[in-house]
Amino acid sequence: MTKTKLSAYEQERLENIKQNRELLLSLNLVGISDSTSSLLGETPKGQRRIVNKNKRTTPDNDSDADDGGNWGGGRRAARGRLLEPSRRSKRLRGETAEPVTEIEERVVETGDVSEFLVDGSAHFTTDIVSQAIKVEGHYRGWVEHGVMGRLGIQGNATEAWESEGGGKFSFKDPLGTGKKVSKKSVPTGQSVAKFVASKLLKKNPNAFFYRHTEPGVEQWTGDWTDEERDVFLEVAREHGCGDKWGLFSTHIPHRVGYQCSNYYRQYVIPQGWIIDDNYRIDSGGHAVYVGKHKRGGA
Protein backbone atom coordinates (compact mmCIF):
# COMPACT_ATOMS: atom_id res chain seq x y z
CA MET A 1 0.00 0.00 0.00
CA THR A 2 1.26 3.46 -0.86
CA LYS A 3 2.40 5.36 2.22
CA THR A 4 1.37 8.96 2.76
CA LYS A 5 3.88 10.70 5.04
CA LEU A 6 3.03 13.26 7.67
CA SER A 7 4.97 16.48 7.79
CA ALA A 8 7.37 17.05 10.70
CA TYR A 9 4.91 19.56 12.16
CA GLU A 10 2.03 17.06 12.05
CA GLN A 11 4.15 14.32 13.63
CA GLU A 12 5.18 16.66 16.46
CA ARG A 13 1.55 17.73 16.96
CA LEU A 14 0.35 14.13 17.32
CA GLU A 15 3.17 13.37 19.73
CA ASN A 16 2.26 16.40 21.87
CA ILE A 17 -1.40 15.34 21.93
CA LYS A 18 -0.39 11.88 23.06
CA GLN A 19 1.86 13.18 25.85
CA ASN A 20 -0.77 15.67 27.07
CA ARG A 21 -3.45 12.98 27.23
CA GLU A 22 -1.20 10.63 29.18
CA LEU A 23 -0.17 13.37 31.61
CA LEU A 24 -3.76 14.44 32.34
CA LEU A 25 -4.84 10.85 32.84
CA SER A 26 -1.94 10.02 35.17
CA LEU A 27 -2.39 13.12 37.36
CA ASN A 28 -6.20 13.14 37.22
CA LEU A 29 -6.10 16.86 36.45
CA VAL A 30 -8.84 16.97 33.81
CA GLY A 31 -11.02 20.04 34.37
CA ILE A 32 -8.82 21.57 37.10
CA SER A 33 -8.04 24.68 35.08
CA ASP A 34 -11.69 25.81 35.12
CA SER A 35 -12.13 25.46 38.88
CA THR A 36 -8.80 27.18 39.61
CA SER A 37 -9.66 30.11 37.34
CA SER A 38 -13.04 30.47 39.04
CA LEU A 39 -11.45 30.71 42.49
CA LEU A 40 -9.04 33.36 41.29
CA GLY A 41 -11.79 35.36 39.64
CA GLU A 42 -10.22 34.97 36.22
CA THR A 43 -11.79 34.28 32.86
CA PRO A 44 -11.45 30.53 32.16
CA LYS A 45 -9.80 29.53 28.93
CA GLY A 46 -12.32 28.98 26.14
CA GLN A 47 -14.53 31.88 27.30
CA ARG A 48 -14.62 35.42 26.00
CA ARG A 49 -15.11 38.49 28.18
CA ILE A 50 -17.70 40.78 26.61
CA VAL A 51 -17.33 44.40 27.67
CA ASN A 52 -20.28 46.78 27.42
CA LYS A 53 -18.55 50.14 27.08
CA ASN A 54 -21.76 52.17 27.46
CA LYS A 55 -22.85 51.11 30.94
CA ARG A 56 -21.72 52.25 34.40
CA THR A 57 -20.28 49.53 36.60
CA THR A 58 -22.91 49.04 39.27
CA PRO A 59 -24.16 45.81 40.85
CA ASP A 60 -27.59 46.18 39.24
CA ASN A 61 -26.51 47.25 35.78
CA ASP A 62 -26.54 43.95 33.77
CA SER A 63 -28.78 45.22 31.00
CA ASP A 64 -27.80 44.46 27.42
CA ALA A 65 -30.04 47.23 26.10
CA ASP A 66 -28.95 50.13 23.89
CA ASP A 67 -25.37 49.72 22.70
CA GLY A 68 -25.40 52.93 20.69
CA GLY A 69 -21.87 54.02 21.49
CA ASN A 70 -22.77 57.27 23.31
CA TRP A 71 -20.05 57.63 25.95
CA GLY A 72 -21.17 60.92 27.56
CA GLY A 73 -18.60 62.76 29.67
CA GLY A 74 -15.61 61.38 31.59
CA ARG A 75 -14.14 57.86 31.70
CA ARG A 76 -16.26 55.00 32.87
CA ALA A 77 -15.09 51.67 34.20
CA ALA A 78 -16.02 48.73 31.99
CA ARG A 79 -18.18 45.94 33.35
CA GLY A 80 -17.73 42.54 31.76
CA ARG A 81 -19.82 39.40 31.61
CA LEU A 82 -18.82 35.89 30.61
CA LEU A 83 -20.17 34.36 27.45
CA GLU A 84 -20.12 30.56 27.40
CA PRO A 85 -18.68 29.10 24.18
CA SER A 86 -21.12 27.20 22.00
CA ARG A 87 -18.69 24.26 21.77
CA ARG A 88 -16.37 22.95 24.46
CA SER A 89 -13.65 20.33 24.37
CA LYS A 90 -13.74 17.23 26.55
CA ARG A 91 -11.14 18.82 28.81
CA LEU A 92 -13.33 21.88 29.39
CA ARG A 93 -16.37 19.69 29.99
CA GLY A 94 -14.44 17.82 32.68
CA GLU A 95 -14.57 14.52 30.78
CA THR A 96 -11.74 12.04 30.52
CA ALA A 97 -9.90 12.19 27.21
CA GLU A 98 -9.83 9.03 25.13
CA PRO A 99 -6.50 7.18 25.27
CA VAL A 100 -4.24 7.20 22.23
CA THR A 101 -4.97 4.21 20.00
CA GLU A 102 -2.38 1.77 18.67
CA ILE A 103 -2.93 3.11 15.16
CA GLU A 104 -2.30 6.70 16.34
CA GLU A 105 0.89 5.55 18.06
CA ARG A 106 2.11 3.94 14.85
CA VAL A 107 1.33 7.14 12.92
CA VAL A 108 3.47 9.11 15.38
CA GLU A 109 6.31 6.60 15.11
CA THR A 110 6.29 6.04 11.35
CA GLY A 111 4.54 9.09 9.89
CA ASP A 112 2.42 6.71 7.79
CA VAL A 113 -1.28 7.62 7.65
CA SER A 114 -2.26 4.86 5.20
CA GLU A 115 -4.08 2.96 7.96
CA PHE A 116 -6.61 5.79 8.11
CA LEU A 117 -7.30 5.51 4.37
CA VAL A 118 -9.16 2.80 2.44
CA ASP A 119 -9.69 2.25 -1.26
CA GLY A 120 -13.09 2.79 -2.79
CA SER A 121 -13.85 -0.90 -3.15
CA ALA A 122 -13.55 -1.33 0.62
CA HIS A 123 -15.19 1.96 1.63
CA PHE A 124 -18.45 1.73 -0.33
CA THR A 125 -21.24 -0.82 -0.20
CA THR A 126 -21.31 -3.75 -2.61
CA ASP A 127 -24.15 -2.17 -4.59
CA ILE A 128 -22.26 1.08 -5.10
CA VAL A 129 -19.04 -0.70 -6.06
CA SER A 130 -20.83 -2.93 -8.57
CA GLN A 131 -22.27 0.10 -10.38
CA ALA A 132 -19.17 2.31 -10.17
CA ILE A 133 -17.01 3.07 -13.22
CA LYS A 134 -13.48 1.70 -12.78
CA VAL A 135 -10.65 3.82 -14.18
CA GLU A 136 -6.86 3.73 -14.08
CA GLY A 137 -6.43 7.47 -13.57
CA HIS A 138 -5.75 8.35 -17.22
CA TYR A 139 -7.80 10.01 -19.96
CA ARG A 140 -7.20 8.19 -23.26
CA GLY A 141 -9.09 10.46 -25.64
CA TRP A 142 -8.44 13.70 -27.47
CA VAL A 143 -10.37 16.93 -28.08
CA GLU A 144 -14.08 16.30 -28.54
CA HIS A 145 -14.76 15.83 -32.28
CA GLY A 146 -17.19 18.72 -32.67
CA VAL A 147 -14.85 21.16 -30.93
CA MET A 148 -11.88 19.86 -32.91
CA GLY A 149 -13.70 20.41 -36.20
CA ARG A 150 -15.02 23.86 -35.37
CA LEU A 151 -11.62 25.15 -34.26
CA GLY A 152 -9.43 23.39 -36.81
CA ILE A 153 -7.39 21.47 -34.23
CA GLN A 154 -5.19 18.63 -35.51
CA GLY A 155 -6.02 15.01 -34.78
CA ASN A 156 -3.46 14.27 -32.08
CA ALA A 157 -0.99 15.94 -29.72
CA THR A 158 2.08 15.53 -31.91
CA GLU A 159 0.46 16.91 -35.05
CA ALA A 160 -1.07 19.80 -33.12
CA TRP A 161 2.27 20.78 -31.58
CA GLU A 162 4.29 20.54 -34.78
CA SER A 163 1.71 22.27 -36.98
CA GLU A 164 1.89 25.36 -34.77
CA GLY A 165 5.65 25.82 -34.85
CA GLY A 166 6.86 22.91 -32.72
CA GLY A 167 9.86 23.55 -30.51
CA LYS A 168 11.00 21.91 -27.30
CA PHE A 169 8.37 21.85 -24.58
CA SER A 170 9.30 22.59 -20.98
CA PHE A 171 7.43 24.05 -18.04
CA LYS A 172 9.71 27.08 -18.18
CA ASP A 173 8.99 27.46 -21.89
CA PRO A 174 5.44 26.10 -22.38
CA LEU A 175 5.04 27.90 -25.71
CA GLY A 176 8.05 26.14 -27.18
CA THR A 177 9.50 29.38 -28.50
CA GLY A 178 12.80 29.20 -26.65
CA LYS A 179 11.92 32.35 -24.73
CA LYS A 180 10.52 32.85 -21.26
CA VAL A 181 7.22 34.68 -21.02
CA SER A 182 7.73 38.17 -19.64
CA LYS A 183 5.35 39.24 -16.89
CA LYS A 184 5.24 42.63 -18.58
CA SER A 185 3.47 41.06 -21.55
CA VAL A 186 0.66 39.70 -19.36
CA PRO A 187 -2.50 41.86 -19.22
CA THR A 188 -3.23 43.46 -15.87
CA GLY A 189 -5.32 41.23 -13.64
CA GLN A 190 -4.51 38.01 -15.49
CA SER A 191 -2.18 35.30 -14.26
CA VAL A 192 0.84 34.25 -16.30
CA ALA A 193 -0.52 30.68 -16.46
CA LYS A 194 -3.87 31.75 -17.90
CA PHE A 195 -2.21 34.12 -20.36
CA VAL A 196 0.15 31.39 -21.61
CA ALA A 197 -2.74 28.94 -21.90
CA SER A 198 -4.64 31.41 -24.06
CA LYS A 199 -1.84 31.17 -26.67
CA LEU A 200 -2.03 27.38 -26.95
CA LEU A 201 -5.50 26.68 -28.37
CA LYS A 202 -4.25 24.78 -31.43
CA LYS A 203 -0.74 23.92 -30.27
CA ASN A 204 -1.47 22.42 -26.86
CA PRO A 205 -5.26 22.09 -26.45
CA ASN A 206 -4.93 20.39 -23.09
CA ALA A 207 -3.23 23.47 -21.64
CA PHE A 208 -5.70 25.85 -23.30
CA PHE A 209 -8.89 24.09 -22.16
CA TYR A 210 -7.60 23.56 -18.65
CA ARG A 211 -8.19 27.29 -18.08
CA HIS A 212 -10.45 28.36 -20.96
CA THR A 213 -13.72 27.27 -22.52
CA GLU A 214 -14.18 27.08 -26.27
CA PRO A 215 -13.95 30.64 -27.66
CA GLY A 216 -17.37 32.26 -27.56
CA VAL A 217 -18.74 29.80 -24.97
CA GLU A 218 -19.52 31.15 -21.49
CA GLN A 219 -17.85 29.49 -18.52
CA TRP A 220 -20.29 28.40 -15.84
CA THR A 221 -19.51 28.45 -12.14
CA GLY A 222 -21.31 26.98 -9.17
CA ASP A 223 -23.00 23.61 -8.74
CA TRP A 224 -22.97 21.08 -11.51
CA THR A 225 -26.28 20.00 -13.04
CA ASP A 226 -27.43 16.39 -13.21
CA GLU A 227 -27.00 16.54 -16.98
CA GLU A 228 -23.37 17.63 -16.62
CA ARG A 229 -22.75 14.84 -14.13
CA ASP A 230 -24.19 12.28 -16.55
CA VAL A 231 -21.96 13.55 -19.37
CA PHE A 232 -18.93 13.49 -17.08
CA LEU A 233 -19.55 9.84 -16.18
CA GLU A 234 -20.22 8.83 -19.76
CA VAL A 235 -16.95 10.39 -20.97
CA ALA A 236 -15.10 8.67 -18.11
CA ARG A 237 -16.70 5.34 -19.03
CA GLU A 238 -15.63 5.67 -22.67
CA HIS A 239 -12.25 7.39 -22.40
CA GLY A 240 -11.18 7.06 -18.77
CA CYS A 241 -10.24 10.02 -16.60
CA GLY A 242 -7.86 11.24 -13.92
CA ASP A 243 -5.47 13.43 -15.92
CA LYS A 244 -5.42 15.67 -19.02
CA TRP A 245 -8.42 17.49 -17.65
CA GLY A 246 -8.24 20.17 -20.33
CA LEU A 247 -8.95 17.61 -23.05
CA PHE A 248 -11.57 15.90 -20.89
CA SER A 249 -13.42 19.19 -20.38
CA THR A 250 -13.97 19.69 -24.13
CA HIS A 251 -16.78 17.14 -23.82
CA ILE A 252 -18.54 19.30 -21.21
CA PRO A 253 -19.48 22.76 -22.57
CA HIS A 254 -19.19 25.68 -20.13
CA ARG A 255 -16.67 23.88 -17.87
CA VAL A 256 -12.88 24.09 -17.98
CA GLY A 257 -10.30 21.50 -16.98
CA TYR A 258 -9.60 22.60 -13.44
CA GLN A 259 -13.35 22.58 -12.70
CA CYS A 260 -13.55 18.97 -13.89
CA SER A 261 -10.56 18.06 -11.73
CA ASN A 262 -12.09 19.66 -8.64
CA TYR A 263 -15.48 18.05 -9.30
CA TYR A 264 -13.81 14.67 -9.63
CA ARG A 265 -11.94 14.94 -6.35
CA GLN A 266 -14.65 16.64 -4.30
CA TYR A 267 -17.78 14.87 -5.55
CA VAL A 268 -17.30 12.02 -8.03
CA ILE A 269 -14.78 9.96 -6.03
CA PRO A 270 -16.40 10.56 -2.60
CA GLN A 271 -19.81 9.54 -3.98
CA GLY A 272 -18.44 6.28 -5.37
CA TRP A 273 -19.56 7.03 -8.94
CA ILE A 274 -16.02 6.28 -10.10
CA ILE A 275 -13.39 4.15 -8.40
CA ASP A 276 -9.83 5.23 -9.12
CA ASP A 277 -7.04 3.33 -7.36
CA ASN A 278 -4.99 6.53 -7.27
CA TYR A 279 -7.36 7.77 -4.56
CA ARG A 280 -8.19 6.58 -1.07
CA ILE A 281 -11.09 7.60 1.17
CA ASP A 282 -10.37 8.97 4.64
CA SER A 283 -12.54 8.60 7.76
CA GLY A 284 -14.45 11.75 6.83
CA GLY A 285 -15.36 10.43 3.38
CA HIS A 286 -12.95 12.74 1.52
CA ALA A 287 -10.84 11.68 -1.44
CA VAL A 288 -7.08 11.64 -0.84
CA TYR A 289 -4.67 11.32 -3.75
CA VAL A 290 -2.04 8.62 -3.14
CA GLY A 291 -0.90 7.88 -6.70
CA LYS A 292 2.09 9.07 -8.63
CA HIS A 293 1.60 11.90 -11.08
CA LYS A 294 2.70 10.79 -14.53
CA ARG A 295 2.89 13.61 -17.00
CA GLY A 296 2.09 12.64 -20.53
CA GLY A 297 1.70 14.48 -23.80
CA ALA A 298 -1.15 16.89 -24.34
Report yes or no: 248 and 260 within 8 Å, Cβ to Cβ.
yes
Report yes or no: 243 and 280 within 8 Å, Cβ to Cβ.
no
According to the model, what pLDDT value does residue 64 have?
40
Phi-psi map region of 69: left, alpha, beta (phi>0 left; psi -120 to 50 alpha):
left
According to the model, what pLDDT value does residue 19 have?
78
According to the model, what pLDDT value does residue 33 have?
46
Write the single-letter amino acid at 168: K
In angstroms, rounded to a whole number, what is the distance separating the alpha carbons of residues 228 and 211? 18
According to the model, what pLDDT value does residue 291 have?
87
User: For the chain, which residues make up each domain, given as ranges?
Assistant: 1-42+82-116, 125-298
| Cα dihedral: 53, 56, 58, 61 (round 10) | -70
According to the model, what pLDDT value does residue 61 have?
41
Between CA 248 and CA 178, with CA 140 as vertex, the angle to 5 degrees is: 75
pLDDT in tens, the chain (298 residues): 555 666 777 777 777 777 777 776 666 655 544 444 444 444 444 444 444 444 444 444 443 434 443 344 444 444 555 555 555 666 666 676 666 666 566 666 766 666 678 888 899 999 999 999 999 999 999 999 999 999 999 999 999 999 999 998 888 888 888 888 778 888 888 898 999 999 999 999 999 999 999 999 999 999 999 999 999 999 999 999 999 999 999 999 999 999 999 999 999 999 999 999 999 998 888 999 988 765 444 4
In angstroms, rounded to a whole number, what is the distance separating the alpha carbons of residues 196 and 173? 10
Please give the sequence-ordered ranges of beta strands (E in DSSP) within the chain, or none if there are none.
Answer: 48-52, 79-83, 133-135, 274-276, 279-281, 287-289
In angstroms, rounded to a whole number, what is the distance separating the alpha carbons of residues 133 and 242? 12
Could you tell me the sign of the dihedral formed by the alpha carbons of 255, 259, 263, 265, in that order?
Answer: positive
